[in-house]
Amino acid sequence: MLNQASTASRGGPRVLIYSHDTLGLGHLRRCRAIAHSLVERNRDLSVLILSGSPIIGSFDFKARVDFVRVPGVIKLRNGEYTSLNLHIDIQQTLDIRASIIRHTAEAFRPDLFLVDKEPLGLRGEVADTLAMLKAKGVPLVLGLRDVMDDPALLEPEWKRKNVLPALRDFYDDIWIYGLPQLCDPLTGITLPRSVKRKISYTGYLHRTLPDLPARPGLPTAPNEPYIVVTTGGGGDGEALIDWVLRAYEFDRNLPHRAILVLGPFMQPEMQGEFLQRAQRLPKVEAITFDAHLETLMAGAVGVVAMGGYNTFCEILSFNKRAIIVPRMSPRLEQYIRASQAQELGLVAMLPDDGKRDVRQMAAALRRLPAQSRPSEIVVPGLLDGLDNVNRLVGRWLTERPATDAAPAPRQRLSVVPSR
């Protein structure tokens, strides 16, 4: 059992979360949702998030949740990485990040370390920290979204990064934030039985509305139906925004107002162009960023989105009719998720064929209010993710010994077992 006296003397149990965050908001928003859920349900627990997001300070965090920002790194469209703000070599930036990560872990002394998506961190920057915490007996958990990429691409990527030894030797658990009947991120990946036994499917991470005062600045009339068009971080959302704008320019009689959320990482010149075009359309408004997108989405009659993990969770949580226009590169993640969700009847998908016929988008926008809602499709355990993450964390915290010895064998908590 955890040494309760020792834990209390240092302020209760502690969870450290690593989110590498190069381009976009997906990793940060997922980790933040988990952190908030953990502190809401565990009175004395504290969570510290390690993140490279340049806009992490734009988000609010609950009491007992804080963050350490490491120097930013951005992934270029050719797949290479570069420092975001520092004019130094990328390897120097990665060395600084790795040092901050390790020293933070040493000082924070977590009772559990949760790594988001990248088993060894960005270019291996978490490897030393994993080894150090493993030697101290700290439970190590890898959290994966429901879809990683086309398995034909993921397996060679993981071989190149030498991921398998980390899954086998470092990690005690692997949590997949989804359900295998919808998506299985490890399909086609050759894994030893010892690794498969570590896998639990939690279900998707349910989202709730933040507890905020009234927001008079919401960019729409309070009683007028509207749809939300969101690109997530916006770094690769120009095509979707342009397609929707052209639909409203083509058909001035589309039934609902549209609020475009361009995303903070969209190129400034593109943001400016889209804002100007939106101003010329009576039924379109545009904003660059909203840290509380959940509130805006909850009030909408429908959603048009690229279909990243967090947006998909919000569509399910707020029971919104949705059109998903997934990106096709550099990863097939959004396309795989959207096609599987469409097959189940949860959303409608409009693939980007490169031509982006304006009539096709206008017709889809007209059909949107008549689509089925996600709640009309029964998928057991679909939104149980945060409940199960809390149960899994609770099991580790109560079973971790007070010494630095390796954890004793435990009975596994059955959530949704690996196939």
CA nearest neighbour of 146 among 322, 297, 346, 365: 346
Architecture of domain 4-206+383-399: 3-Layer(aba) Sandwich (3.40)
Fold adopted by 226-376: Rossmann fold (3.40.50)
Domain spans, the chain? 4-206+383-399, 226-376
pLDDT for 6 equals 45
Summarize pLDDT for 246-279 with one digit per residue, the tens: 999 999 999 999 999 998 889 999 999 999 999 9
Summarize pLDDT for 349-366 with one digit per residue, the tens: 999 998 999 999 999 999
Least confident of 150-159, 189-198, 249-258, 297-306: 150-159
Is 189 a residue whose pLDDT tops 60? yes
Q: Would you place residue 117 in the very low, low, confident or very high pLDDT band (cuts 50, 70, 90)?
A: very high
Is 81 a residue whose pLDDT tops 70? no
Cα(381)–Cα(234) distance, integer angstroms: 30
CA nearest neighbour of 97 among 107, 86, 108, 113: 86
Give the residue-averaged pLDDT of 187-192. Answer: 88
In contact, 359 and 249? CB cutoff 8 Å: no
Angle separating helix axes 26-41 and 309-317, nearest 10 degrees: 50
Is 131 a residue whose pLDDT tops 60? yes
Q: Would you place residue 413 in the very low, low, confident or very high pLDDT band (cuts 50, 70, 90)?
A: very low
**pLDDT, mean over the chain:** 88
Is 4 a residue whose pLDDT tops 70? no
In contact, 320 and 226? CB cutoff 8 Å: no
pLDDT for 76 equals 57
pLDDT for 236 equals 87
Burial 386-404 (b: 16+ CB within 10 A, else e): bbbbbebbbbbbeebeeee
Q: Where are the beta strands (DSSP E) in 1-107?
A: 14-19, 46-51, 65-69, 73-75, 81-83
More confident residue, 77 or 32: 32
Cα(305)–Cα(227) distance, integer angstroms: 11
Q: Which residues contact 154 (CB under 8 A, 6 or more apart)?
A: 148, 185, 188, 189
In contact, 383 and 375? CB cutoff 8 Å: no
Give the residue-averaged pLDDT of 208-236. Answer: 74
Nearest 5°: the CA angle 121, 161, 141 is: 40
Q: Would you place residue 90 in the very low, low, confident or very high pLDDT band (cuts 50, 70, 90)?
A: confident
SS3 229: strand
Summarize pLDDT for 6-15 with one digit per residue, the tens: 454 467 999 9
Same-fold call for 4-206+383-399 versus 226-376? yes
- Label each residue of 41-69 as H, E or C: HCCCCEEEEEECCCCHHHCCCCCCEEEEE
Is 116 a residue whose pLDDT tops 70? yes
pLDDT for 103 equals 98
Percentage of residues in the chain having pLDDT higher than 90? 69
